[in-house]
Structure formats: C-alpha cells, structure tokens
Amino acid sequence: MCALRCPTPSVSADTTSRSLSADSRSERAVPRREAITRVSGTNRVTEKRFAELRESLGLHDVPDQLLHLAFTHRSYAREQGLTDLESNQRLEYLGDAVLDLILAAHLYDAFPDLLEGDLTRLKAAVVRKSALASIAKQLSLGRYILLGRGEETTGGRRKASLLADAVEALIGALFLSGGFDRARGFVLEYFSALLEDVEARDSLRDHKSALQEIVQARAMAPPRYRVVRTEGPPHDRWFVVEAVFDGNVIGAGEGSTKRAAEQEAAEQALASLDGWLKE
C-alpha cells in the first residue's frame, strides 16, 4: 500500500532550480553571514554536536552556516542580539511548503483512487505537529537546537511545536543546498515508517463521528472536548484538547485549530475506549 517505490514526481531539482541554482539559493538563505558565524561558530561543544548531526544524517552537503541557521531558534537569536530574520523561521516556512509538495506528490501516486478531500486528510495526518515532533525525536534533533536560556529552562527542547519547526527548517535547508530531489530523498527515507503507519491505518475516518457513533449505540452520554491550553500569537494559535468521557480523560490531541486537536483527541480516545467501557 505504501508507495515508497513510486516513480519520482515530475517536479525535480532541475525544474525547481532552472532560474536559481542551489548555490545561489543557499547564499540568499543566510541574512547576515557574519552574525550567524558569531552565533554558532565559536562554541566547540556546539560544533562537535553539529559534526555528530552531519555524520548521523548524512548532511555533509549542507553548508555550515545554513545548517546552523536551521537549528537557531528565535529565542537564541534574540539573546545574541540578532533579529528574527537570523533565526530558523524563514527556513521553517520554506520547509513546510517543500514538505507539503513532497507528500502531496507521494500520496497522489500512492493512492490513485482517492479524491482530493481524502488525500488532504491523509497528508494532514503526516504533517501535524505531533507527527513531525515524533520524527524529530526519532532523529534526536532536539539536542542540536540552539535555544535561549528562558526557552531552555521552560522545557522548550521537548515542545512538540518547536521540534516540528526544526524538522521543517532542516527540510528547507536541504532544499536550498541540494534542490527538490535532495529534500525528497530525506523525507522519504526518514518519514517512511510514519508514512507506512498512516497509510496502513484508517487515517481517513472522521474520528469524532466514529467515537460519537460508538457511545450513542450504547445509549451513553457523548464525550466532551475541552481546550486545556493554547500557545502562540493570535495569528498562529496552537491548541491542546482533551476528550472527556464519563468524567475521565480518555484522549488528548493538539493542532493548529480546535477541530484538528479534537480529531486527534478522538482518535486517541477510540484506542482507549474499549478499556473504559469494560470497567
């Protein structure tokens, strides 16, 4: 079912870089070259860690400054007297778009019988923050992120949103340094288990509706969903939601919208509902 052996999409590095070479894209990615060097080039511990990262993930083709930029959180940049332009935010934006295209092309080839809405929901299951954070944890990316002291002390290195952003920024750096095919190869290699899992299970279900049907069939009160935490500015909210059944929390989820967070909470609740019903 998983189409990791699918033919390469028609979009290639040659196509995407026709008017802009990988080298020139990489040059334009670093806003202030001497500042980035000052941030990350003087700490021997940091340099040793980045050498480990290159070795473990085969990132020898990514320029030093671009790789450092991909892991420079805005809290660290500000602490060093730099601007947000000298953090990984722009690379995160680029990587998000590149990842979206890679997955869209992959799923388009993998599921020739699915319509747009189903493909969109399947892709959403892969690009949600919690899924990307799981990739970051699998690759131990958290230990390489450059954080400000405040973010470090509040557990920023474990935050799903921060870890997910680092994955997207790294994909952006790979695209700038090696083109679309380089980024695609990385995604299909390190996202393979996640893709296979998402494609194997019934990811296209409306989990809230499925949960509602189960409890209604047993003449039980429907589950409630409550927002337990919101993060981020008004234009970039992140919601954490719990599914509550019979006074017990049976699922939790998070997402950029309350609906997405509720769907994830309902999916988790479905997995644990049998245990609650038997008690």
Q: What are the catalytic residues? A: 96, 168
Residue in the structure block whose two tokens are 């420079």:
72
Q: Select from 62, 1, 72 the least CA-distant residue to 36.
A: 72
One-letter amino acid at 147 equals L
For 110-133, the DSSP string reads H-TT--HHHHHHHHHHHHSHHHHH
Q: Select from 52, 97, 45, 93 the least CA-distant residue to 69.
A: 93
Burial of 165 (0-12, 13-18, 19+ CB in 10 A): buried
Are the beta carbons of 253 and 279 closer than 8 angstroms?
no
Q: How many angstroms separate the Cα of 87 from the Cα of each of 22, 75, 202, 246, 268?
A: 20, 8, 38, 45, 34
Are the beta carbons of 222 and 210 closer than 8 angstroms?
no
